[in-house]
Structures are given as structure tokens and as C-alpha cells.
Structure 1
Amino acid sequence: TAKIARYFQKKGMKVGVICADTFRPGAYDQLATLCAQINIPCFGDPKAADAKKIVKEGLVAVKDQEVIIVDTQGRHALEPDLIQEIIDLNVITKATHRWLVIDAALGQQASEQARRFHEAIGIDGVIITKMDGTAKGGGALSAVAETKSGIVFIGAGETIENLERFDANGFISRLLGMGDLQALAEKVQEAQMAEEVDMEAMMKGHFTLRDMYKQLEALNKMGPLKQIMNMLPMGNMQLPEGVYDVTSTKMVRYRILMDSMTPKELDDPGLINSSRMQRIARGAGGTPEEVRELLKYYKMMHKTLKGLRGAGGGKLNMQRLMKRFSGMQ
């Protein structure tokens, strides 16, 4: 729900959220915390058990917002009381859209759930979550067929920014290893970083530690590195999993380590020997092992980007293409 709210907020709309999940412990606290991070009003009552009462009061509390999102509790198709609750909430809200959230790993159960909910309130869109995992979403896709609706969004990551508008052509293109430049251009535009992200530089075979951090920091604002890489046209090239294994916490540590390096070391990592590792680690309040990990990751990125160039990525002027797709010229 917070991801959807963030999506519309980035489009310049005023968004309000109502937490009608009275079942899951901490549901309101979690949603309110996430909404507070992005300055979106969230109405709810963690002590109340009547979802209908909460929604009625919430509609009044957030009535000035352009988009109102009602978060209901998770349920199974064979729970008649909860099915009745969702019917009642649909009547109370007069909802413009009724979206069903399906886990990509749900499997065949998804079809039955979708059918029952569609019969109850008329589902007009499906959101597939956890598409960054190993599941390919077959069950969720069958749910889409059952409701005769369509996929609205795909969730591919844990942070509040990791929600992507679904586009069938782009999705299929990515499955075939052909990338999705349109989606990539949208991410760049939303992050307002067209000049900061030089995708052409990422395709070059030689780059420094300084370059690596600049690119990773920029891409981190756009979402998981794995998701971004999947938008690039790489054919059937398989990237090592370690390339994606950089959390925001690790990036902070990497930056501290690099702040302890000399300009020459940043421009030529080959200069960093054992004694320099000791000095860098001491200056950063870390260990030589952390420096080795940073250098190992740098080498992996270096090798990967050379491979991308060989796969055809280096032949593309990515910056120009993205500007063209996003209307920035």
C-alpha cells in the first residue's frame, strides 16, 4: 500500500491512506511508519476491530486527497466473513478500482482466490509482488486470466520505491533478455537524474573506483541494481549473483573506505597493496578484509561491464536513448 501511495505521489498527486487491516498485529503501525517516511497521511485505529467503521471515519479524515488507498487485511477465498467484509467495504468506499495483490510464488491457489474475489467485488486489476525472487509468477498470471482484468503493478524489491507500472511489451522484452529501455527511462526521469546517470559510462570496459561508486550511488536511487540491469539489453548473458549483492548499508561502508583512499588509489585501484589496505582500513575504522571485499566487488563489476560491452551494450548510446524515450530532449 505504501508503495502504491509513493507511486502516485511521485506523479504529483495528493495521496491519503486508510488502514483497514484489523487482523494482522502491527499492521497500522507498520503502514503509518512507512507513510510518515514519505509524508503521506495515514488514518487508522490499532485498537478498533471494525474495519467498516475505520473506513467510514477515514474517508472523512482524508477527503481532501486526490487519491485515497484503502488497505484491507489479507484473506483466503474460503473465509465467508472476510469476503462479506470486503463486499461491505466496496459499497462504503464506492471504489474506483479494486486491486488484488498476489504473491508471485502463490501458485495454483491464486486462480481460485482471484475467481472468488472477482465474483464478490469485481476485480479490475492485479498487483504481483516478489517478482525479484525465483518465482516467475505463473499462478499470479492465471489469476489475471481468471479476473479478465490485467496486471497494474509489479513489486520487485523490499523498499518503498520498488513498485513498477506493468507494461506487457517491456515485461516480455526483459524475459527474452532484450531489456526495457522505456521503463529504465521512466526510472531516470522520476529520480530526476538524467544528467547524473551516464549509462554509456557503465558500458565502458575501463572504469575506476570513483566511477563505480558514482554509478552505484545513482542507480541506488532508482531501485535494486538487479532490476535496473534487467532493463538493459543484454541478450541471454547471465550476470554473477554477487554483482547485485550491494545493500545500502554496504554502500555506506564502501564510501567510508573510499574516503580513506588517496586520489591516485581511487583512479588506479591496482596500486592498492597489502600495506595500503592496512592504512585505508585504519583511516576508515574498518578492517583489511572490508577493503578486500570492496576491491573484489570492484573487479566483479569491472568484469561484468566488459561483458556487457561484448554482449552489445557498449554499442548503444544509452543516455541518448533514455532521453528520447522519456521526452527529455
Structure 2
Amino acid sequence: MLRRTALATLACAAGASIAKAQEVFPSRAVSMVVAFPPGGQADVVGRPVAATLERIWRVAVPIVNRGGAAGAIGNASVARASPDGYTLLMALSSMALLPEAARVNGREPTYTPEMLAPIALFAADPTVLVVPAASPIRTIEDFIADVKARPGQVSYSSAGNYSALHVPMAQLSQAAGLDMLHVPFQGGGPALTALLGGQVNCLASGPGPVAPHVRSGALRAIATWGRTRLAGFDDVPTLIEKGFPDCEFYIWVGLFAPAATPAPVIARIREASAQVARDPDFIRIMAASGNTLDFRDGEAFLRFYNEDAARLVRTVRALGRIE
């Protein structure tokens, strides 16, 4: 009797394993983690991606905003999640530099980039320097002159130390010899709210979150960190053309999964991501939000990611320890 029971148990287990192996992904909800509060660049891009995936997969794809530590908490939660494809990360470029920032500050990283598998890039725009429209600052020359006239008094918000909103401002401060007051928040959304509320003087942001406020007349864009001028901000000069060749920074937004996720599941997610990028509603939403759709997957995304990550690590090492 015991032997029959054991055989029956083994048969059931084998059947369950086969069924699981044949299960078509996804068969249940897929969580998409954004490592920041709502309103920032990853959230602005992640929400229409998740909504489009829901239509493609016919399962729920909820956004999970898991902020803290400039994105490291949310990034680490996905890096250490079950590698089954049901927990994904919509990451910012800062994902690649935060582990190095931890090492520079004498801490053990909570994750490493190798723990996350790149799937698809959706946007890669340079940061934009914005000030309130009521500010007398109209050009980057005005801005630099004002900061130098008031050392330590001109403040900027960010999503935290070494975040994608902090690093470009640190680059500019180094390049132009500026002494500014850094005011870190828990994400890009709160950092933008602080600027709109008059708590800080300026912000370096991805174009998506600030574009509606520039169009409405609440904010003024005075410079960007790209090699060329940004579409939609055609009258805004780059810092490179203004004589700061080292001021180049892009806030890219890409989809990642835990590194050990099976190749067939990664392939399914990549295929669906490509469908998202071709979806007319998604394209319209991206354009309306001020984000430039820059879809890359497979080897193209991997090359882009590796090149940008190397540049970001060099930047962090140049910045050094932040007390």
C-alpha cells in the first residue's frame, strides 16, 4: 500500500512538472516593479507599457512602485525575485551605476547588474535642466552666473544620491565649477513636485515628466545633456554646444527580468515588448508624454546597455564618495 501510494505521489508530481513545463507564459498576473514613486520617468513609461502588455497577454500587469535608496530597493527586489518571468523591472539608467556607488561609499551592493537580464529598451532621452517659468533665469549662461553669485544657495532636487537626476547635475557642477545645494527625494515624481511647489530652484529630469509643465508655461527648459538637440525641445541648447563636452547623460528606461529566467520566457517577454513598441495607442501615448520612443531589444539593447553602463561607472568613480 505504501509503495502504491509513493508511486501515485511520484506520478502526480511528474504530471504536475510536465504541466508546469507546458504552461504557456503568462498564465497569471505579471508584476512590473518601478523602483520609484509615481510620476517619474520610469513610471511615465512603465504605465503605458504595462497597459499594452495587458491587452496582448490578457492578464493583469500591475505597476508596483517600490521606491527608496535612489532605486536600489526596487532594483534589488527584482534581482532577487523568483526567475519565472512574473516579476519584471522597468528600470532607469541609474540601475547600472548604483552598485558601483555603493562600493565607492564602502558598502556591499544589494544587487549587481549581472543579476538582471536586459529585455527591451523603450526610451533613451537626455536629461533636461528646467527652472520655474517665473524665474529670471532664461539661459544656461544666466544659470551659471546666478549659481556663482550665490554659492551653496541655488538648490536642485533629485531622486536620491547617485540617481539619474543627481548625476547629471553633479557633472555640470564639476564641469562649470559650481557649488549647489543638492536636495534628494525618494523619486523623480516628488523631486518634480518640489520644484513646482517652489521648494527648490531647478531640476534635471527626463523629458517625459517635465514636458507637460514646459508646454503649460509652468517651467522653462534651459539646457539638455544630449549630443544633439532634443526633439520637442528644439530651441533648447545642449551643454556640449555651450562648451561642456563632458556633460552628457541619458535617462533610459528599459525592461529587465531576473537573470536566471528561462530563455523561452525571456523570448516571450521580448516578443510582447516588440508588439508594444508597434502598438499605435502606445506610440501616441509616448509622443503625448514627451518621451521619444527608442525601442531596442536583443543584442542591440545589450550593446547600448553595456556601453552606457561603462560610462556611468566612470562617472560615479569620478564623483567619489558622498557623505
Please state which band the TM-score falls in when normalised by the shorter chain.
Answer: under 0.3
Larger Rg computed on CA atoms: 1
Q: TM-score scaled by structure 2?
A: 0.25
- Of Structure 1 and Structure 2, the greater helix share is in 1
Larger relative contact order (C-alpha < 8 A, sep ≥ 6)? 2
Q: Which has the higher strand share?
A: 2
